[in-house]
Structure 1
Amino acid sequence: MEWRTLLSPRRERESSGRSKSADLRSEFEKDYHRIIGSASFRRLQDKTQVFPLDKSDFIRTRLTHSLEVSSLGKSLGQNIGENILKFRRNSGFTPQMKEDISHILECAGLIHDIGNPPFGHFGEIAIREWFAGNLPELSFGGRRVEDMLSEQMKQDFYHFEGNAQALRLVTKLHYLVDEHGMNLTYALLNTIIKYPVPSTGIRMDSGNIKDKKMGYYLADEEIFRKVTETTGAGNNRHPLTYILEAADDLAYKTADIEDAFVKGFITYYTLERELAPLEQNYPESPFKPLEKLRKLYERGQKKGVSNPESYAVKNWIVSAQGFLISCATFGFTSNYESIMAGTFGHDLFHGTYGEKLMDLLGDMAYRRVFSSMEIYKMEVAESAILDNLMNKLVRAVLYYDTDVRQDTIDKRVVSFISDNYKNAYRLQAKGKSEAEKLYLRLLLVTDYVCGMTDSYAKRLYQEMNGII
């Protein structure tokens, strides 16, 4: 892979060129303004990261998380770009490319979660499980829906994925000027494709991180091919995707600990106990997590802060992030050749001093937060909401846009779906077979559900079920 093509500024619809001389922004800087002005981006403020429907102003939303990933991604891009220039790792790499990388990653951080459904990652699980339990039971015109759909169509639903939905949303569903969505640059689109494989290409046992999940729907294969052929990434991960993923992992794993502390799931002393074995087992690490935490606690006491435990934990998070940024930078630059060759199969923390700390943070959040009774209760309620919405919406769209007459309630339910999504369906359905149209109508449901905020999903559920 070569940076010259990887950083492609091409778009599906190119601008007329009349105003180019008056606009000094790069194509990637223009992407930024397209994103932050979009309704899809604004909706992230009402999609929660860990604690759905939480009333606290402190707890992170998808919006604040995305801003953090954007900031971390840009910082990593600057560090890595400077390293490539300084050590001349690539003769064709220029200072402008370093700037472009930073802007692309800044934008990618903003939209990396834009396709996720309401209620965090549990929403993805709930939708996958709904299809697993209900798709085999659906019938259309006297035939089993499963028998009508191709293998990839079925697997698209059984492996439903927010990452694939993000690509679909920004290229088709955000109907601003025409059918090309936000019409973002190919370099940016390729960066957000974390898994460049179809639903039938998932290989959990391959040992390569890019094969773990699907990256695009069958309905969006054409744009996937255009983008990856233009950038030259093909079926490999775009190099910037590794950096985006590192920024995402770093942001949510450290933020989850801070949010858990604020919510009372962990205390200063909990964190102290958790960090002790890590420091004992890896004494050679330049970052001493337990030692740093205790020094921050002592500093808080000397400053006379009212809560030295809170002071220590929150400042420790900042210190840990700085250390992990340096680890991710090293992970990219030390594996530069294999990343550019498309053969590197791990995340950027693999083999660095930060790997064990990242593992610990993720494990601690799982044990002390995600496996808690409070979260389980939330997820049971969220599952009831999503199951009910999926039941009503799928039933309503089965015979939408067919010669079969819909009943009154189904017509009204279909009317709730955004015209943007229905326009995208009609454009894609032109000239398609009955089975392909049925597949696209099922996607119409996931498009609508993924566009919902947490509170909208809850309110629609209550309204559709007469709960006042």
Structure 2
Amino acid sequence: MQYDQLFTHKRVGSDKIPSGPRSGFQRDYDRLIFSSAFRRLQNKTQVFPLPGTAFVHNRLTHSLEVASVGRSLGKMTGERIASQFKHSNEEAYEFYKYELSNVLAAGCLAHDIGNPAFGHSGEKAISAYFVENAQAIIDGQELQNYFSENEWKDLCTFEGNANAIRILTHSFRGRFKGGFGLTYTTVASILKYPCESNAMDKGYKHRKKYGFFQSEKDTIKQLAWELNMLQESEQPVIYKRHPFVYLVEAADDICYSIVDMEDAQRLGILQKEEVVEAFMEVIRNINRPDENATKILGYFNDIKDTNEAIAFLRAKVINILANEAADVFIAQQDDILGGTFNNTLVDAIQDKCEALKKVQYLSRTKIYNHDTVLQIELAGYNVMSELLQLFIPALLKNKPSHREAIALKLFPYQFTEFEEKASPYEKVLSALDYLSGMTDEYATEIYRRLKGIVIPNHG
């Protein structure tokens, strides 16, 4: 891959390139931030259950912060890449100097947009439903036999990353062609796993999971062609990562690993001293010449408000890691462009920074296994499983029962493609579109109503 062939102003679902004071990449950002799919992230759990008293991050605030770091990474790397084209390619020079930051900010806004209610437990609940009910008989046929091998693999390993691509690019009923109509460049920046589900291989970072459903395969092929991405395999479809993915991924990795520590301190899961020690170790271990650990600690000690003091250190660590990630990207650019860089930027930093491994260890042992986190996972798993048990058979039956027919009437219009001539796979995706778009609160409320735990009213 070559830098001057990695971007395009072309958009999904349209051949028209808009004109005006805003660039197409700025329009991508604006379309995302004003979308209902993005707004719904405010009621989707990031790590901790949404609290009543202490403010912690949800998926919306997380995505906004990731976008901020992504924009910075775009400026840091973009200016260095732009210098390669200053006297040879004006279009590439202008893009990398002024627009890469907009692409990455937009990509960061969109990176979690496909996560269902209850996050990873919601993903696991969807997958488990199909695995556990593979032999369930619906209209005289086993559930698994309704689908092709590749379609079944999609359903049994439901993936929020692939769902994000679907939300952004699918032409939903009654909506615009091409979904959000984003540039191929922005969509490519969140395609972390550019392969289909039957090509997953944990030995490779770009195939650890999969990045698109069978329903979006043709869109991905078109995107890869427009952006000159390296194809690893035609059958199954596998591409090498687009280079911008590494920067969006780094912004996400930096934010969630560091900000989760801040939230855990606010909630009393980690003590102030634990967080301070972990953050200062990272600062000393990386030892950037422009960030003096002694001065940073001096400023920290002058801040008497505990939460504000931790926030100051968090900001310093994020800035240091962002600069390190930019340095790694430039240092490894030949391998990244050649499709041979089998790592993430943050993992590459961690390989030489033992202190960052300690942060990951604390997160894994004390945060992600905390009772409140496990409880929300279990609750979310149960809610999603029950809703699937109601919707999936109803969609596949030729003659749904009275109860099932009523359940199907709950689907918003844009998710009613099953009313038209659709394959079983497309019908099931309609249910997953509906379920994955729900917030934690809405999914719980629908569950309670359909189970008769509460009776809805018009008040």
TM-score greater than 0.5 by the shorter chain: yes
Matched, 1:459 2:453: no
Q: CA deviation at 1:212?
A: 0.1
Higher alpha-carbon deviation: 344-353 or 390-399: 344-353
2:212 and 2:87 map into 1 onto residues whose CA distance is 31
- Cα-to-partner distance string for 1:120-156 (whole Å, 9 max, x where unaligned): 222222222222222x133333222223422211110
- The C-alpha deviation readout for 1:46-89, integer Å capped at 9, x for no partner, is 11211234324621111111111111111101100111234669
Aligned to 2:170, the other structure's residue is in SS state helix
Name the counterpart of 1:2: 2
Partner of 1:397: 395
Is 1:414 the equivalent of 2:413? no
Structure 2 vs 1, CA of residues 300 and 100 (structure 1 numbering), >3 Å: closer, same or farther?
closer
Match of 1:151? 149
Q: How does 1:51-450 map to 2 (within 5 A)?
A: 51-56=48-53, 58-86=55-83, 92=89, 93-134=92-133, 136-172=134-170, 177-205=175-203, 208-233=204-229, 234=231, 235-272=239-276, 274=278, 285-286=286-287, 292=293, 299=299, 301-302=301-302, 305=304, 307=305, 309-352=306-349, 355-399=353-397, 404-423=398-417, 437-450=423-436
Counterpart amino acid of residue 327 in structure 2: F
* Distance (Å, rounded) in 2 between the aligned partners of 1:174 and 1:331: 40
Which one-letter code corresponds to 2:190 in the other structure?
I
Partner SS, residue 82 of structure 2: helix
Instruction: List alignment gaps of at least 5 residues for structure 2.
Output: 232-238, 455-459
Cα distance per residue 1:394-453 (max 9 Å; x no partner): 122122xxxx22211111111111211224x567x55xxxxxx11122222211111000
> C-alpha deviations, 1:215-264, integer Å up to 9, x for none?
01111111111111111114110100000000010111111111111111
Query: What's the counterpart of residue 50 of structure 1?
Result: 47
Deviations 1:1-23 (A, max 9, x none): 13333211112333667x73xx1
Instruction: State the Cα distance separating 1:158 from its structure 2 match.
Output: 1.6
Distance 1:2 1:86 in 2: 15
- Structure 1 partner of 2:11: 11
Contact 1:84–1:90 (Cα < 8 Å) also in 2: no
Could you tell me whether the CA contact under 8 Å between 1:297 and 1:311 is conserved in 2? Answer: no
Q: Contact 1:47–1:118 at 8 Å: present in 2 too? A: yes
TM-score, normalising length from structure 2? 0.89
Amino acid in structure 1 at the alignment position of 2:201: R
Question: Gaps (5+ residues) in structure 1?
Answer: 431-436
Does the Cα contact within 8 Å between 2:250 and 2:325 map onto a contact in 1? yes
Q: Do the aligned partners of residues 217 and 284 (structure 1) sit closer, same or farther apart at CA in structure 2, a change above 3 Å counting?
A: closer
| SS of alignment partner, residue 406 of structure 1 | coil
C-alpha RMSD of matched pairs (Å)? 2.7
**Cα deviation code 1:320-376 (max 9, x no counterpart):** 001101110011000011111111111013443675444332221121111112222
Distance apart, 1:118 and its partner CA: 0.8
Q: TM-score, normalised by structure 1?
A: 0.87
Query: Number of residue pairs matched?
Result: 442
AA aligned opposite 1:317: R
Aligned partner of 1:35 in structure 2 is 32
